[in-house]
C-alpha cells in the first residue's frame, strides 16, 4: 500500500499542472491534468474505430487487433 497511485476512472482530474512542468512543456501552470485511458484504447478511439464492425490494426512494439474482422 502507498507504493502505487490510487486507481481512478478515466476523465478524473489528477490535479493542477505544476509551475515547473508547465514551464518545461510550454503550457499554463494550474491547468487540470486529466487521467486518460490506455494507449491502444485511446488510439482506437482517435482512429474512429468505435464500432466493433470497423477493423483496426495497431502496430507498435506489440501488434494489436482490437476490432478483428
CB 35 within 8 A of CB 8: yes
pLDDT tens sequence across 14-49: 999 999 999 999 999 999 999 988 887 888 888 888
What's the average model confidence in pLDDT over 51-62? 78
**Cα dist from 21 to 15, 16, 50, whole Å:** 13, 10, 33
Does the predicted TM-score (pTM) go above 0.85?
A: no
CB 12 within 8 A of CB 34: yes
Write the Ramachandran bin of 46: left for phi over 0, alpha for psi from -120 to 50, otherwise beta.
alpha
Amino acid at each position: 500500500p502507498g507504493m502505487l497511485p490510487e486507481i481512478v476512472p478515466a476523465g478524473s482530474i489528477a490535479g493542477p499542472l505544476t509551475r515547473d512542468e508547465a514551464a518545461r512543456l510550454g503550457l499554463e501552470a494550474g491547468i487540470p491534468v486529466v487521467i486518460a485511458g490506455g494507449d491502444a484504447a485511446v488510439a482506437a478511439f482517435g482512429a474512429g474505430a468505435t464500432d466493433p464492425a470497423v477493423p483496426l490494426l495497431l502496430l507498435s512494439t506489440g501488434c494489436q487487433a482490437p476490432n478483428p474482422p
